[in-house]
Amino acid sequence: MQGMSIETYIHFVTGTSFPFLFLILVIVAEYIVRKRKGKTFSFFHVFSNFGVLFIGMTLFLLFNHFVLKREDVLAFTTEHSLFSFPVSWGYFFLWLIVFDFINYWTHVFYHKLNFFWMFHSVHHSDKDLCASTTIRVPVTASFFTVTSYAFLSFFGISIVLLPALAQTMFLQQILVHSFLFRGVLPSYVSLIFITPDIHALHHTEKYATRNYGFLFSIWDRLFKTAEIKEHTTEVFGVGSSQETNNPFSVHFRPIRTFFKRK
């Protein structure tokens, strides 16, 4: 990124409201596009997804305040880090690859292990795959972020870079979840990056166990979990077929179902 220092970029994605504003902008664009095409757009659905995020973050903050003490964890891993790497564009991209590799395997475990799927199914239960699906995440998402922060800081990544990595990934996730960008990118882009079409396949019942990557598609190719094809379906949602815009029901129904089965 010639002309922009890493410090300027970090401030841009972590010290401003740009990531949130970008999400709102894409949601508004989705509304305009659907209205022009004569299709319905449910703001109740969007508010529900924001509600799911709010519930998850509230639960995590309460647990963090009374039990976890996140700042103490990060302070410990930073103080006892094995290495010390400078803040630069080169190391930013290096750690972005590492962070994405961690994301890939965490995503695999979310799908393969029933206990973690109980939470992750909250994200996959969305039958209207769009930009707001990005924030339809359970409380475990915050735990994963903190765990990743602690792991990376222990190996020497600057604590300044950590939120920049997360926000960069968040911006990319908005793009791959929004229907505005499906069928737009040429197929060769998917040779390296996860595209909206690839990720849309992952949100269908048939291909839910394929395309686990977040940013790079190379992990799926390397570990034989890739499904690269043109997206042709609009049937999304894995798990319960019950339609609801109640964020409490969306968040806690999979947990209730899991323990009922047990």
**Environment class of 165 (CB within 10 Å of its CB; exposed 0-12, middle 13-18, buried 19+):** buried
Average pLDDT, the chain: 88
pLDDT tens column, 210-219: 999 999 999 9
C-beta separation of 170 from 134 below 8 A: yes
Q: Dihedral sign, CA of 15, 16, 20, 26?
A: negative
216 phi and psi angles, rounded to 5 deg: -105, 140
| pLDDT confidence band for 77 (50 / 70 / 90) | confident
Which residues lie closer than 8 Å to 100 by C-beta, 6 or more apart?
169, 213, 214, 215, 216, 219
What is the model's pTM? 0.91
C-beta separation of 169 from 106 below 8 A: no
Average pLDDT estimate for 128-151 = 89
What is the distance in angstroms between the CA of the first residue and the CA of the last residue of the chain? 51
pLDDT tens column, 175-213: 999 999 998 888 889 999 999 999 999 999 889 999 999
- Inter-axis angle of helices 43-63 and 140-154, to 10 degrees? 50
